[in-house]
Amino acid sequence: MNWMIFSPEICCLVTALVFLFLAMAPTDARRDYIVAVALTGLAVCISLAGLYAAGELFHGTYRVDLFSQVFKSLLLMGLFLVVFISSGLSGIEHRYHPEYYMLLSICTLAMMMLVSAVHILTLYVALELSSYSLYILVFLRKGRDQGVASGMKFFLIGASASATMLLGLALLYGATNAAYFRVMVEVIPGVIHQPEVILGLALSLSGFLFKMAVFPFHFWAPDVYEGAAHQVAAYISTASKVAVIAVLLRMVALSGGESTHLVHFLAVLAIISMTVGNLTAIAQKDLKRLLAFSSIAHAGYVLVGILCISPEGNVSAMFYAVTVLLLKFTCFLVVIQTAFDGENIDIDRLAGLHRRSPIMALALMTALFGLAGIPPTIGFTGKLLIFVAAMEKGYFALVLIAMFNVVISLYYYLLVVRAAYLLDPPEGAGPLPAMPGAKILAGTLVAAIVILGIYPTPLLDLIQAAATALG
């Protein structure tokens, strides 16, 4: 067995073990932060070096190909970015910092296993491992009442979705007598019209729709975003979404595009998610709750690409995964730098941000314009790819509804930009005490958002090659 193709996962496992031992040593927040940045940075380098590795492990239950490797690199980049902005980590008590880094590493490891899983058992185990790590991370929020309430809601809804998914996988196994995805791909198109197969696929997707916060599994998102520490909320809104998009692409591809019932089911979920997310976001004053409802809406956009079940649709969904990672992380970077005391912030607290920290105001405006789909950002390119893929499949009404939702979202994104640029700062408010590293990161993210929006060709070429491996 070639263990070298497993090196990104091993690196993540080693990181988790290091922090398991550090959790038993005297607390040193600065030491933990430096070790975490070094190890996660190394993991990113290793994953990029092994981007074109290929092979199978554990008797074919674990597949390593370009599709999985691209998503693993994105997951590790998301982990590194979240760790990088954890230097203050004022939302979590110092004594729990090693556990925080350990759980982040375990969750990322589980999600990397998730994107490589090609057997229903490894898929389920990886999903559960990542879910339980996230539940505990939410509980770690300082000021336990808020964190505990959010964590309990997250856990209860997640456990229900997990049980539903297990039932769906059992139905699929019973109907196809296959546990490997590659066998299911051969069998399911021939039996896709059987009710138990359609029901099995729909129920199997519920666990991933929950993680993606798609309607009707979205109720946990606003409370968890609000109740979790800022860095944890950033991780949930970026890295976990990337993993779910990968698995949804694998699962929906099983149908081979032969089931109109499944497509209609996903289309209804996409429409309701976009509409509910955007309309509810308008009324939000808390910035993290607004970003949560925004995530629900963006889950609907991603579903539009996934339900196309075509090479163009797969590419558009993968590109949108990069889009979500960049834009949502940039928003949370500004949240963390603005709310340096670890408390949640209202949109009004952003008043005069352009005077207090011009680079953070610019980063926030660029990211929000990207989420709204305004050119020349990566968000515009991502939405364009999804809409074109859907139009090629003839889903005109779906695209029209999605475009209408884009217009709605523009309203509440502009409200945030207005607060940052057009309102005066509170009397006596001085410059934000942002770290030099955070300012450099903000500038880099702004450049990446614009450059990938104007010239996405290299990234698209890589994603198209990865999408080919999915087929």
413 Cβ contact list (under 8 Å, min separation 6) = 368, 369, 371, 372
**Length of the chain as a residue count:** 471
Spatial distance between the Cα atoms of 230 and 61, rounded to a whole number of angstroms: 35
Give the 3-state secondary structure of residue 263.
helix
Domain boundaries, the chain: 1-239, 257-470
b/e per residue, 227-242, with b = 16+ CB within 10 A? bbbbbbbbbbbbbbbb
pLDDT in tens, 58-105: 888 888 889 899 999 999 999 999 999 988 787 888 888 999 999 999
Report residue 339's pLDDT band, with 50, 70 and 90 as the boundaries: confident
pLDDT in tens, 264-292: 888 999 999 999 999 999 988 899 999 99
Count CA within 13 A, CB hemisphere, residue 457: 1
The reply to whether the predicted model has a pTM over 0.85 is yes
Q: What is the average per-residue pLDDT within 424-447?
A: 83
pLDDT in tens, 438-464: 889 999 999 999 999 999 999 999 999
pLDDT in tens, 210-264: 888 888 888 888 888 888 889 999 999 888 888 888 888 887 877 666 667 778 8
Q: Is the pLDDT of residue 186 over 90?
A: no
Tokens 């949930």, located at residue = 236
* Residue 464, number of CB atoms within 10 A of its CB: 15
Q: Name the token pair of 404.
A: 């209408």
Give the pLDDT confidence score for residue 100 in this predicted structure: 93
b/e per residue, 134-171, with b = 16+ CB within 10 A? bbbbbbbbbeeebbebbbebbbebbeebbebbbebbeb
Listed residue (293, 316, 278) closest to 395, CA to CA: 316
Sign of CA dihedral 6, 12, 14, 17: negative
Asked if 393 and 313 touch (Cβ cutoff 8 Å), the reply is: yes
Q: Is the pLDDT of residue 39 over 80?
A: yes
